[in-house]
Amino acid sequence: MSSDVTDSMPERGVISSISGRILQELHSSVNYVSAAIVSGVNTVWTLVVCFLIFFMQPGFALLEAGQVRAKNVANVLMKNLMDWGMGVLVFFVLGLGIYGLAGQLTTSGLALDVGAAFSYINDPSAWIGSYLFSAVFAMTAATIVSGAVAERIKFKAYIFYSIGLTAFIYPVIAGFAWGGNGLLSSAGFLGQAIGVGFQDFAGATVVHMLGGIAGLVGAYMVGPRKGRYDAEGNSQPIPGHSITLAVLGTFILAFGWYGFNVGTQAAVLSVSEGTLAFNGAALGRVALNTTLGMGGGAVAAALVTGWSDGKPDPLFTASGLLAGLVAVTGAVPHVTWYGGLILGIIGGAQAPIVFRWVTDTLKVDDVAAVFPVHGSAGAIGTLLIPVFAVDGFSATQLLMQAVSIAVIAVWTIVTTMLVFKLADVTQHRRHRRLDDRHDDAGVQARRRHRRAPSRRGRRGHRARPQRTRVHGVPRVRGHRRRRRRHGHQRGQCYGYRRQWGERR
Amino acid sequence: MTESDIELVIAVIRPDKLSEAKQALAEVGAPSLTVSDVSGRGSQPAMTEQWRGEEYTVDLHQKVKIEIVVADIDAEEVAEALSDAAHTGEPGDGKIFVVPVSEAYQIRTGETGIDAV
């Protein structure tokens, strides 16, 4: 830039050349100052949006706490606390590195470089833009799942899954889609095969659909809450204890979502032709589409439930608002304003319908309607981006969207099943105490002691009937893990029988 | 004093009739009372509520239980006053029971019997 200026300076004596040199220095210092301003403003903006996205965590916590029974609130909140508290540690030590590795491995021309992938750990300049900004998105994906499996999953099993998601399941997908390279980007294997990169601006698919599908798979694998379906398999609603908390959580979540969507437009200022440029138009489109999406979603869900149930359902309206947000999250910079509105309406309208389908047809007990709000809304919103694109419709882009959504869905289903299976092997997945004690009035007796093991032992662990007496001594029942815990060695099936609940 | 003249009036009424019941009790000369939130089932039909568009029934209704210990005035009078105050004519108005009390103590003064009430 500065060389152009001096080249165009006519060489007319000493004074001109001196002034040329002064101009050149002036120009380069202006450029330097501009670059510093740009990076300063953009970094501060990124920090602010990180704080906003972090504020989605209390939103999720309240939303989920309101939708469960009073006796399980502490358990749900504990899961939300650990999603964030432990998640940020796991994501720092492992997650972001795997994010980098996933990109390297699936992009042509990039070699595997573990050192580069983990270089952020000792690089202060990467701690805001790379680590913190990625971490808040990862924790959002992680905490979505707890709403689906609430009230019955065992705490330890959930923590195990949460680590799996923040260390592996999410980082791989984020590495595929974001960061300039990776399988689904225009430089990745799939992107090159189809010819365009996958469009998902702030993570309708990468974050939300991933969390929603993981939640659905998790809820399927832990099974419904006791009493959720009667003997004929008909759905019996288990009302949450506070619609106030749920709606308050929804609004807090929507507030943080401005950071999620608008903040993904991380460049507020840029340097163009040596001058500062403000990206107001880009920011404006993102902010408007986010707002129209949530409005459309809430109104659509209210209308759909008003039409189907006789009165608008507050919880579905809240879900619709969030589903509208999810639907536009991937699309906000790419689509027209009416495109954003229509996506929001579709997202909100499908939430009650998909919830009924999940509940009545799949018989999956999705407590906080995680799949309709995050899963299906994210997939539909991302798929339809090319239909409402500012640049016009592109069949190639539509194909890439569909293929990418399928890749992410399959990855999420397979890895989630794997991690939950592992959690089941290492510890019993389902939480009995949370689930089993309630009466018809919803007045719950809190049982603080451990429940005695079932006389039948744990399901599925025994292929053939066992001898109940060996040498006339009652056999110790139960799985070998539990026998070990109670002081028995392999093959030693008699002797002192430790009672349940006794300490060693 | 084994068979005292002290009686306990227990009334289970609609929560929104509580202030009228208190007013009536004050007028009849028995202002002291104990109030607790209770839920229960009687002749009032079960309610249907919705959660995420799915209906479920609530057959335990929220009520308020008032307990009044009376000594120097007629329990019947108190019960009638309460009955008038809490009446709407719809199922779910509640019930009133009168039970004899064998003894009463006032903790502050150590008085017993009618004086304690």
Write out chain B residues lying below 8 Å of A355, CB-based. 52
- Pairwise CA distance, residues A163 & A139, whole Å: 10
- Pairwise CA distance, residues B18 & B33, whole Å: 11
Rounded CA separation A145/B37 (Å): 37
- CA A216, A221, A226, A228 torsion-angle sign: positive
Longest Cα–Cα distance in chain A: 116
Mark yes or no for CB contact B52/A235 under 8 Å. no
Report d(CA A44, CA A87) in Å as an integer: 23
C-beta atoms of A313 and B49 within 8 A: no
DSSP states along A263-301: TTS--SEEEETTEEEE-HHHHHHHHHHHHHHHHHHHHHH
How close is the nearest chain B Cα to the Cα of A438, in Å? 15
User: Which residues of chain B are under the pLDDT cut of 70?
Assistant: 1-4
| Residue A29: burial class (beta carbons within 10 Å; 0-12, 13-18, 19+) | exposed
Distance from CA of A441 to the nearest CA of B (A): 7
B53–A313 C-beta distance less than 8 A = yes
pLDDT at A481: 56
Nearest C-alpha of chain A: how many angstroms from B110? 38
The Cα A145–Cα A370 span in angstroms is 7
User: Number of C-alpha atoms within 13 angstroms, CB side, residue A327?
Assistant: 36
Distance CA A86, CA A92 (A): 10
Question: What is the value of ipTM here, to two decimals?
Answer: 0.70
Q: Determine whether the interchain pair B54/A238 forms a contact, defined as Cβ–Cβ distance below 8 Å.
A: no
**Phi, psi angle pair for A494, to nearest 5°:** -145, 180
B contacts of A371 (beta carbons < 8 Å): none
Measured from the Cβ of residue B12, the count of other Cβ atoms closer than 10 Å reads: 19
pLDDT at res. A331: 96
**Do the chains contact at A316 and B51, CB–CB below 8 Å?**
no
Q: Testing the interface with B: which of A304, A319, A357, A440 to mutate, by most B Cβ within 10 A? A: A440
Residue B107 makes CB contacts below 8 A (sequence gap 6+) with none
For residue A495, the model assigns a pLDDT of 43
Predicted local confidence at residue B2, as pLDDT: 45
For residue B54, the chain A residue with the least C-alpha distance is: A237
Q: Are A169 and A420 in contact (CB under 8 A)?
A: no
Chain A: closest CA distance from residue B106 (Å):
35
Amino acid B40: pLDDT: 93
CA A33/CA A273 separation, integer angstroms: 14
Q: Which residue has the tokens 């662990």?
A: A461
Distance, CA of A474 to CA of A478 (rounded, Å) = 12
The one-digit pLDDT tens for each residue of chain A (504 residues) are: 343 433 444 444 555 667 777 777 777 777 777 888 899 999 999 999 999 999 999 999 999 999 999 999 999 999 999 999 999 999 999 999 999 999 999 988 888 899 999 999 999 999 999 999 999 999 999 999 999 999 999 999 999 999 999 999 999 999 999 978 899 999 999 999 999 999 999 999 999 999 999 999 999 999 999 999 999 989 999 999 999 999 999 999 999 999 999 999 999 999 877 788 899 999 999 999 999 999 999 999 999 999 998 899 999 999 999 999 999 999 999 999 999 999 999 999 999 999 999 999 999 999 999 999 999 999 999 999 999 999 999 999 999 999 999 999 999 999 999 999 998 877 655 655 555 444 333 333 333 334 455 555 544 444 455 555 555 555 555 555 555 555 555 544 444 444 444 444
| CA-based nearest residue to A284, from A341, A344, A338, A333 | A333
Verify whether the Cβ–Cβ distance A308 to B53 is below 8 Å: yes
Coil, helix or strand for A138? helix
Residue-by-residue DSSP string for A416-444? HHHHHHHHHHHS--B-HHHHH---TTS-P
- pTM score, whole prediction: 0.78
Q: What is residue A502's predicted lDDT score, i.e. its pLDDT?
A: 44
Taking the CB of residue A35, how many other CB atoms lie within 10 A of it?
12
Chosen for mutation from B48, B49, B54 (greatest number of chain A CBs closer than 10 Å) is: B54
- Contact residues, chain B, for A359 at CB < 8 Å: 54
| Cα-Cα end-to-end distance for chain A | 76
**From the CA of A314, how many Å to the nearest CA of chain B?**
8
Amino acid found at A95: G
Q: Which residue has the tokens 């409402």?
A: A388
CB contact under 8 A, A369 and B55: no
Q: Does the beta-carbon distance from B53 to A369 stay under 8 Å? A: no
For residue A429, count CB atoms less than 10 angstroms from its CB and return exposed for 0-12, middle for 13-18, buried for 19 or more.
buried
- Contact by Cβ (8 Å): A183, A190: yes
Residues on A contacting B at a C-beta cutoff of 8 Å: 235-240, 305, 308-309, 311, 313, 315-316, 352, 355-356, 359, 369, 440-441
**H/E run at residue B36:** strand B34-40
Which of B39, B54, B59 is the closest to A235 by Cβ?
B54
Under 8 Å CB pairs connecting chains A and B tally to 32
Judged by a CB distance cut-off of 8 A, whether residue B60 touches chain A is yes
Asked whether the beta carbons of residue B56 and residue A441 sit closer than 8 angstroms, the reply is: no
